[in-house]
Amino acid sequence: MTAPKALSGTLDLIGNTPLVLLKGPSEAAGCEIWGKCEFANPGASVKDRAALWIVRDAEARGELQPGGTIVEGTAGNTGIGMALVANALGYKTIIVMPETQSREKMDTLRALGAELVTVPAAPYKNPGHFVHTSRRLAEEAPNAIWANQFDNVANRRAHVESTAPEIWAQMDGRIDGFTCAVGTGGTLAGVGLGLKGFDEKICIALTDPHGAALYEYYANGELKSEGNSVAEGIGQGRITANLEGAPVDTQFRISDEEGLEWVGRLLKEEGLCLGLSSGINVAGAVALGRQLGKGSRVATILCDTGFRYLSTLYNAEWLKAKGLPVFDWLR
Ligand code: PMP
Ligand 1 binding site (Cβ under 6 Å of any ligand atom)? 45-47, 75, 77, 181-187, 232-234, 275, 277, 303-304
Q: What is the pLDDT along the chain (331 residues), one digit of tens a residue?
A: 889 999 999 999 999 999 999 999 999 999 999 999 999 999 999 999 999 999 999 999 999 999 999 999 999 999 999 999 999 999 999 999 999 999 999 999 999 999 999 999 999 999 999 999 999 999 999 999 999 999 999 999 999 999 999 999 999 999 999 999 999 999 999 999 999 999 999 999 999 999 999 999 999 999 999 999 999 999 999 999 999 999 999 999 999 999 999 999 999 999 999 999 999 999 999 999 999 999 999 999 999 999 999 999 999 999 999 999 999 999 9
97 bridge partner residues: 118
Protein residue with least CA distance to atom 6, ligand 1: 233
ipTM over 0.95: yes
> 0.90 cut: is pTM over it?
yes
Predicted local confidence at residue 1, as pLDDT? 83
Among residues 196, 163, 152, 168, the alpha carbon closest in space to that of 60 is found at 152
The pick from 277, 281, 312 for probing ligand 1's pocket by mutation, whose C-beta has the most ligand atoms within 8 angstroms, reads: 277
Q: Which residues of 101-130 are buried (b: 16+ CB within 10 A; e: fewer)?
A: bbebbbebbeebebbbebbeeeeeeeeebb
Return all residues near 75 (Cβ < 8 A) that are at least 6 apart: 97, 98, 101, 105, 183, 232, 233
The pick from 45, 54, 274, 302 for probing ligand 1's pocket by mutation, whose C-beta has the most ligand atoms within 8 angstroms, reads: 45
| CA 82 – ligand 1 centroid, Å | 14
| Nearest-atom index, ligand 1, CA of 276 | 3
| Nearest-atom index, ligand 1, CA of 304 | 3
Predicted local confidence at residue 63, as pLDDT? 97
Protein residue with least CA distance to atom 8, ligand 1: 233
Terminal-residue alpha carbon distance, the chain: 43
| CA 265 – ligand 1 centroid, Å | 21
Print the SS3 string covering 224-241: CCCCCCCCCCCCCCCCCC
Domains annotated on the chain, with CATH? 10-41+163-321 (3.40.50.1100), 46-146 (3.40.50.1100)
Among residues 188, 209, 165, the alpha carbon closest in space to that of 19 is found at 165
Which among 5, 23, 36, 47 is annotated as catalytic? 47
| Nearest-atom index, ligand 1, CA of 190 | 15
Predicted local confidence at residue 262, as pLDDT? 98
Protein residue with least CA distance to atom 7, ligand 1: 233
47 has catalytic annotation: yes
The pick from 46, 131, 182, 276 for probing ligand 1's pocket by mutation, whose C-beta has the most ligand atoms within 8 angstroms, reads: 46
